[in-house]
Amino acid sequence: MGKSKVLVVGDLMLDEFVYGSVTRISPEAPVPILKINETRRYIGGCGNMAANLKALGVDVCICAAVGDDEPGGYIRSKLRADGIQDMTQTS
């Protein structure tokens, strides 16, 4: 698949995972209070598909809508860093 070229079109999103430990239960409601130890971000949706194809050596171009905010900027920079051509549209 190394010489293949693929256009990926779909929903592009940012998956964010927060890891930590529950320090106490809120006195206002039965809600756990989390002490955050680590946060990880991954490109999800069709971005995950594009990253998997790129890992297989495929020349990938992605076309999707991305927000004009910090998460959108992170997605664009991560795509560039991964060598995925970006045709995203800011919404």
Counting the structural domains of the chain, the total is 1
* Domain CATH code at residue 77: 3.50.50.60
| pLDDT values of the chain reduced to their tens digit, one per residue, 91 residues | 557 899 999 999 999 999 999 999 999 999 999 999 999 999 999 999 999 999 999 999 999 999 899 999 999 999 999 999 988 766 6
Supply the range of the domain harboring residue 61.
5-15+43-90
Asked whether residue 30 is domain-assigned, the answer is no
Asked whether residue 78 is domain-assigned, the answer is yes
Torsion from C-alpha of 19, 77, 87, 48, nearest 10 degrees = -30
Asked whether residue 49 is domain-assigned, the answer is yes
